[in-house]
A and B are shown apart, each in its own frame.
Chain A
Amino acid sequence: EVQLLESGGGLVQPGGSLRLSCAASGFSFSSYAMSWVRQAPGKGLEWVSAFSGSGDSTYYAESVKGRFTISRDNSKSTLYLQLNSLRAEDTAIYYCAKVSPLTMVRGEFDYWGRGTLVAVSS
C-alpha cells in the first residue's frame, strides 16, 4: 500500500524557515517524480515544486522560486521542501504527491499525503 506522510509544519514568523519532510512507502520511490502542492485555508490547490525520479531535475512555481528548495533522499524514500523567507501568503496545508507515470516528471498525482500545516504569522 502506497503511503505518504508529511511532517515538519508549524507556526513560524515572517522571514523564518521550515523544512518539510514526506516519508514514502509502498512503491519504488526512486523511480517516480514527486511534487509538493499547497492549499491556503479555504482556497484552491496550488502546485509548488517537483523533483524528477532518478534524475536531478527540479521545478518551481514562480511564487516560490528562489525561496523554496525541493530535494529528495532516495535511500530514505523521503522528499523534502526547505521553506525560507516565509511570507503570510505561504500559509497553507502542504501536500506531497506522487506523480503517476513511471519516470515522467509531468503527470497526474495518483497518491497524496494528508498534508502538514504551515502557518506564517507574527
Chain B
Amino acid sequence: DIQMTQSPSTLSASVGDRVTITCRASQSIRSWLAWYQQKPGKAPKLLIYKATTLQSGVPSRFSGSGSGTEFTLTISSLQPDDFATYYCQQYDSYSCSFGQGTKVESK
C-alpha cells in the first residue's frame, strides 16, 4: 500500500500569511494527487486534483505543485475562511489513501 505523509501536522498562521503544506508518498504516484479542505462537522471539499489543477469554484489563492513523491499545497494569502484541516490523497492505485491531515490554526 502507498503511504502518504503530511507535514506539518499543525500549522499556526495569521491572516495574510503564505502557507505551505507538504505531502510525501512512499512511492511514485506520478501526478495522481488531490488536496481537500475539511472544517469541523463538515464533509471534505475538493480543492486541487491531478496535483496542480484547481477545482472549479476554488479561490486562486490555493495552488498545488509537485510530482512523483513530493507535493505541496500553497495558500498565497491566508484568509479567515481558510482555517481548517487539509488532507492530501493519492489515487495512483485502486486502494487510494490519505495523508494524516494538517490543521491550520490561528496564531
Contact yes or no, A107 B91, CB < 8 A? yes
Of chain A, the residue at the smallest CB distance from B47 is A108
Contact yes or no, A106 B94, CB < 8 A? yes
List, in ascending order, chain A residues with CB within 8 A of B55's CB: 110
List, in ascending order, chain B residues with CB within 8 A of A46's CB: 98
Q: 1/0 per residue B12-42: CB within 8 Å of A?
A: 0000000000000000000010101010000
Asked if A27 CB lies within 8 Å of chain B CBs, one says no
Nearest Cβ distance between residue A113 and chain B, in whole angstroms? 7
Interface of B is mostly: loop
Contact yes or no, A112 B87, CB < 8 A? no
List, in ascending order, chain B residues with CB within 8 A of A50's CB: 94, 96
Contact yes or no, B34 A108, CB < 8 A? yes
Asked, given contacts A44-B101, A107-B91, whether A112 binds B44 with beta carbons under 8 Å apart, the answer is: yes
Roughly how many angstroms separate A106 CA and B92 CA in the complex, as a whole number?
Answer: 7
Roughly how many angstroms separate A29 CA and B38 CA in the complex, as a whole number?
Answer: 25
Roughly how many angstroms separate A35 CA and B98 CA in the complex, as a whole number?
Answer: 14
Contact yes or no, B98 A44, CB < 8 A? yes
Which listed residue, B45, B87, B95, touches A59 by the CB 8 Å rule?
Answer: B95
Of chain B, the residue at the smallest CB distance from A106 is B91
Which listed residue, A62, A108, A112, A113, touches B49 by the CB 8 Å rule?
Answer: A108
Which listed residue, B38, B43, B91, B100, touches A108 by the CB 8 Å rule?
Answer: B91
Give residues 48-107 of B contacting A (CB, 8 Å): 49-50, 55, 87, 89, 91-101
Contact yes or no, B98 A109, CB < 8 A? no
Contact yes or no, B32 A106, CB < 8 A? yes
List, in ascending order, chain A residues with CB within 8 A of B100's CB: 44
What would 13 A/B residue contacts be, using CB atoms closer than 8 Å? A35-B96, A44-B87, A44-B98, A44-B101, A47-B97, A59-B94, A62-B1, A62-B95, A100-B49, A106-B32, A107-B91, A108-B89, A110-B49
Ordered nearest first, which 4 A-B pairs have the shortest CB separation? A112-B43, A108-B34, A108-B49, A45-B98
